[in-house]
Homo-oligomer: A and B are copies of this chain.
Amino acid sequence: MRERNLSEIQTKYDVVVFGAGDVPTSSIILDILKNAKHIVACDGALEDLLKLGVEPEAVIGDGDSIAPELKEKYAHIFHQIKEQDDNDLTKATKYALNHFDLDSKPSFCILAATGKREDHTLGNLFLLLHYYRQLGINPVMISDYGWFAVASGKTKFSSFPRQQVSVFQFGCQRISSEGLKWAVYPFEEFWQGTLNEATGNSFTIDADGMYLIYRTHLPK
C-alpha cells in the first residue's frame, strides 16, 4: 500500500488559484500568495486579489463578474472563456495546466473558494475530487479556518494534539484511522465524518477509495 506523508501546510505552490469566495486575511495565506510561482484569479476575484496587493499572472472566467474598468486595465492577462460546462475555478485550473510551464507533478493551492454563496462552496469542495481524479493533480484548499486535502489509499497526515479533523469519504467500502479520537468507519452520511480530533502529531487514514481530510488551523 502506497504511503505518503503530508507534512505541515506548505506555503510554496506551483499554482495558486484564487476564487471569488471569502477573502482570506491570515498570514499563512498571504505567505502562500507571496511564494506562489503562478497565480490565477477567477474573474471578478481579481479585485479581491489586488486589494491584497497581489497581481495575478492570468485572470480567467466568463467575464460576467469583473468590473469593466478592471477588465480593460487587465486585458493583457484576461482570458475570457465563455464555455458553460465548467465554473471559473475549473476554467482557471485547466488554464494553468495548459498554459504555464509546470513540473510534471505541479502543486496546486486553491484559495478564496469557500464562503459567500453556499452552492459554490459545495460545488468547489467536490471539484477537489474531480481535479484529483480527472486532472491528475492533488490540490489543497485553504481558508482562514482550515484546509482540505484529497487522498486515497493509505496516507499519513501531520497534525497536532486537539487539532479538529473531519474525514469525508467517497464510496469507500473500507476505511480506518489511527491517531484520531474516534475511529473512522465507512460513514453513510457526510456529517458523520465531522467533529473528530487528532490525538498527536500525526494520524493515518487507510481506505479503498478517495477521501477529503479537513484540518483546522487551531486546536479546539
| B116 and A145 form a contact (CB under 8 A) | yes
Q: How many Å from the CB of A209 to the closest CB on chain B?
A: 15
Stretch from A72-80, A124-132, A153-161 at the B interface: A124-132
Per the bound structure, the CA–CA distance linking A121 and B115 in Å amounts to 9
Q: How many Å from the CB of A219 to the closest CB on chain B?
A: 12
Majority DSSP secondary structure for residues of A touching B: mixed
As a 0/1 sequence over residues 107 to 131 of chain A, the CB contacts with chain B under 8 angstroms (1 = contact) are 0000000111111111111110110
Q: A136-174: which have CB < 8 Å to B?
A: 141, 143, 145-146, 148, 164, 166, 168
Please give me the residue from chain B that is nearest to A130 by CB atom.
B189
Q: How many Å from the CB of A164 to the closest CB on chain B?
A: 8
User: If A115-B115, A130-B189, A216-B117 touch, does A194 touch B146 (CB 8 Å cutoff)?
Assistant: no
Any B CB within 8 A of the CB of A100: no
Copies of this chain, how many? 2
User: If A116-B145, A117-B146 touch, does A195 touch B122 (CB 8 Å cutoff)?
Assistant: no
Which residues from B are CB-within-8-Å of A124? 191
| A114 and B123 form a contact (CB under 8 A) | no
Any B CB within 8 A of the CB of A64: yes
Which residues from B are CB-within-8-Å of A182? 84
| B117 and A191 form a contact (CB under 8 A) | no
Any B CB within 8 A of the CB of A99: no
Please give me the residue from chain B that is nearest to A191 by CB atom.
B123
**Which A positions have Cβ atoms within 8 angstroms of B?**
22, 64, 84, 87, 90, 114-127, 129-130, 141, 143, 145-146, 148, 164, 166, 168, 182, 189-191, 193-195, 214, 216, 220
